[in-house]
Amino acid sequence: MPEGPEMVFLKEQAEQFVGQVVLEVSGRTKHIPFDKVQGQELTQIKTFGKEILFCFPGFALRVHLMFFGKYALNGEVNRPLELGLTFEDGYLNFYACDVRFLPEPWEGRYDWSADVLNEAFDPKKALEKIRRQLGQLICDVLLDQQLLAGVGNGIKNEVLFRARLHPESQVDHIPDAVLKNLLQECVRQSFRYLDSLRTGTVREHWLVYQQKECPRDRIPLRKEKIGKGQRSGYFCEMCQLLYHPATL
């Protein structure tokens, strides 16, 4: 599933179309009134977590790539087209995604302080919300987009490793200092990931995600599906501390 940094990277690539008029709208999506979009000027592109928002006068188009979504800038993918936008100087195609038409006032739907890549991100507010997730595993909490928009499975594995925190630790038992450091890592790791996309060094970016050996202890990483969502976890049982009542 694409994560927040990938949406910001797409935004940066697509900003060449800001100020241009949509010449044609195509695709099989049923949620977009094509006639209201065609002929409109793209005024801005924004992102919220794993969503990208194309802003027009009076409305926005929201695209979520879900688990298997793809996009192509001035190109095509061998899949059924969900949404295609043709501008004066090029086109942008989306596949296997969820597309929505958001009439104004749409910005009030979003809590921008929850987006780890947004300048409005509020770590204090995020900590308060996380602390209310009683009995939840930290690996599940990190993937909750209402709490930390943009954090996906790759970032989750990396920040837990860098914070030396076991993914099956319960929120109730994790000290505030550890959680604060974890939130800082969410921001740092998201921007690291974005930089690796810009420089084409994504493969070198990951320390544990989809890796086999702990780079600190040089022992095999555990790989298994954990948490409510049964998402893939990569972690080291030697250097990532499992917090439970006895550790307090």
The CATH number of 113-247, from 3.40.50.10470, 3.40.50.970, 3.60.15.10, 1.10.8.50, is: 1.10.8.50
String of b and e for 187-200 (b: at least 16 CB within 10 Å)?
Answer: bebbebbbebbeee
3-state class (DSSP) for residue 224: strand
The CATH number of 4-109, from 3.40.50.1000, 3.40.50.300, 3.20.190.10, 3.30.1280.10, is: 3.20.190.10
Domain assignments of the chain as residue spans, ordered by start: 4-109, 113-247
d(CA 100, CA 103): 10
pLDDT at 246: 60
Contact at 8 Å (CB) between 56 and 41?
yes
d(CA 162, CA 154): 13
Task: Give the C-alpha distances (Å, rounded to integers) separating 58 from 40, 102, 247.
Answer: 10, 9, 54
Contact at 8 Å (CB) between 26 and 32?
no
pLDDT at 203: 83
Residues 15-36 have pLDDT tens digits of 999 999 999 999 999 999 999 9
Q: What average pLDDT does the segment 195-218 reach?
A: 93
Q: How do beta strands 81-87 and 24-26 pair?
A: antiparallel
pLDDT at 247 over 60: no
Residues 138-165 have pLDDT tens digits of 999 999 999 999 999 999 999 999 999 9
ω before 245 within 30° of 0 (cis)? Answer: no
Average predicted confidence (pLDDT) for the chain: 95
Confidence bin at 190 (pLDDT 50/70/90): very high
d(CA 132, CA 209): 28
Q: What percent of the chain has pLDDT over 90?
A: 93
- The amino acid that residue 127 corresponds to is L
The pTM assigned to this predicted structure is 0.93
pLDDT at 60 over 90: yes
pLDDT at 244: 76
113-247 and 4-109 share a CATH fold: no
- The amino acid that residue 44 corresponds to is Q
Q: What average pLDDT does the segment 54-65 reach?
A: 97
